[in-house]
Amino acid sequence: MNALTDPPAPQPRTDSALAVEDRLYSALALVRVVVTVNMVGLNAYRRDSYAYPDLALAIVLALVVWTGVAIWLYSRRSRRTPALLVADLLIAVAAIAVTPWLKSDGFQATLPGFWVMGALLAWAIHWHWKGGLAAAVLLSLADLLPRQEVDQGNYGNIFLVLIGGPIVGFMCESLQRMAQERDAAERAAAAAEERTRLARAVHDGVLQVLTMVQRQGAAAGGQWAELGRLAGEQERGLRSLIRQQATVPSRSGGRVDLAGALEAMATAHPVRVEVATPGGAVLVDDHVAIETVAAVKACLDNVLAHVGPDASAWILAEAAPDAVTVSVRDDGPGMPPGRPEEAAAEGRLGVASSIRGRVEGLGGTATLQSGEWGTEWELRVPLA
């Protein structure tokens, strides 16, 4: 299996996800109070149905005490251990299990009643839908096994427990994932703003000076031309460094910054390359970035092979909502009409396979224009 088909690895809980969990346990504390009051009231109303009313009263008081202890224990992250969750569920199961002993064999309602929702929801919050399902199954079995017959009311309660636990767990997991995605988006936005600020500051100073030295050195010739060439290399390297060292990660949610990958090519290819990209990141799927960069490299390889190492090339990337367009142009003498077709017929598939084949494989188009001014490839890759 590859990266496109493998299931995503589970992400560790971030501070935002834990903060959401804290809020959910705070809400659960209120639910525990409500269901505890309900349990006390119902058992006081049904006290005549118990064969051992004094023992039943002691168990109800014990559950009230555990409610207070549980609210206190769950209020701190450090105390929310698996042992606490298991103990919470076992107490709920035990309270259900003693009901047939305290009542007659044909009992209808269990002693804790809806009080067991506290443990059920705690498992759903902590272990999401799997925890909610596991707790619901255990509570349902504890309720059903001692019964001689199951009526419509019992069935309805069990059905609600079995679907409620997983649904609540799924919603809790979704809330935590949304909090993580929100934090990632905020970090990306802040990083993009910082990158723009840095690029603007550097462009207004260092990059402009390096560009001027490159042009003046090329015009002066001799040793000054070499100095201009070195200044051009430093300019391209600095532009790439600005993008790569900015706080925006090169990958975001399984996507790759295509603009950053193209910037890196400015210093990675023997041909002198100038790269112009949008101010922000251009996020595309990993496969799209790999194929597009490979097609651009094939264009530069052609420049090196047919124009020479002293040639200059320009890469321009433009991002639209539905596609990315990358133009690669050189300052060579151009190529005769029909030359790409002749090369393909001779078995030289650089243009047909490495450039057109890659782009068309992504559902895009590769357009070639050539003349005395040079050669230009326009690669248009759809984002969807």
| Other residues' Cβ atoms within 10 Å of the Cβ of residue 100 | 17
Residues near 129 by beta carbon (within 8 Å), at least 6 away in sequence: 165, 166, 167, 169, 170, 173
Is there a contact between 201 and 41 (Cβ–Cβ < 8 Å)? no
CA 224, CA 220: separation in Å to the nearest integer?
6
| Other residues' Cβ atoms within 10 Å of the Cβ of residue 33 | 14
pLDDT tens across the length of the chain (384 residues):
343 334 444 455 677 888 999 999 999 999 999 999 999 999 999 888 888 999 999 999 999 999 999 999 999 999 999 999 999 999 999 999 999 888 866 677 889 999 999 999 999 999 999 999 999 999 999 999 888 788 888 888 899 999 999 999 999 999 999 998 888 888 877 877 776 677 666 655 676 677 778 778 877 888 888 888 788 777 766 766 665 554 344 455 567 888 888 887 776 677 888 888 887 778 888 889 889 998 998 888 888 888 888 888 999 999 888 899 999 999 888 877 766 666 655 555 556 567 888 899 999 999 988 888 888 999 999 986
CA 184, CA 281: separation in Å to the nearest integer?
14
The token duo for 155 is 């069935």
Residue 383 DSSP class? -
> Quick one: pLDDT at residue 373?
85
CA 164, CA 76: separation in Å to the nearest integer?
25
- SS3 call for 375: strand
Stated as kind and residue range, the H or E segment containing 220 is helix 208-220
CA 72, CA 83: separation in Å to the nearest integer?
15
CA-only gyration radius of the chain, Å: 34
Q: Is the dihedral of CA 327, 330, 269, 206 positive or negative?
A: negative
> Quick one: pLDDT at residue 338?
67
CA 259, CA 195: separation in Å to the nearest integer?
13
| Angle at which helices 15-45 and 152-202 cross, to 10° | 160
Closest CA to 184 of 6, 176, 264: 176
Question: What pTM did the predictor assign?
Answer: 0.56
CA 296, CA 326: separation in Å to the nearest integer?
8
| Other residues' Cβ atoms within 10 Å of the Cβ of residue 59 | 19
Residue 7 DSSP class? P
Give one DSSP letter per residue of 291-330, joined into a string. Answer: HHHHHHHHHHHHHHHHT-TT-EEEEEEEE-SSEEEEEEEE
Is there a contact between 302 and 366 (Cβ–Cβ < 8 Å)? no
CA 123, CA 90: separation in Å to the nearest integer?
12
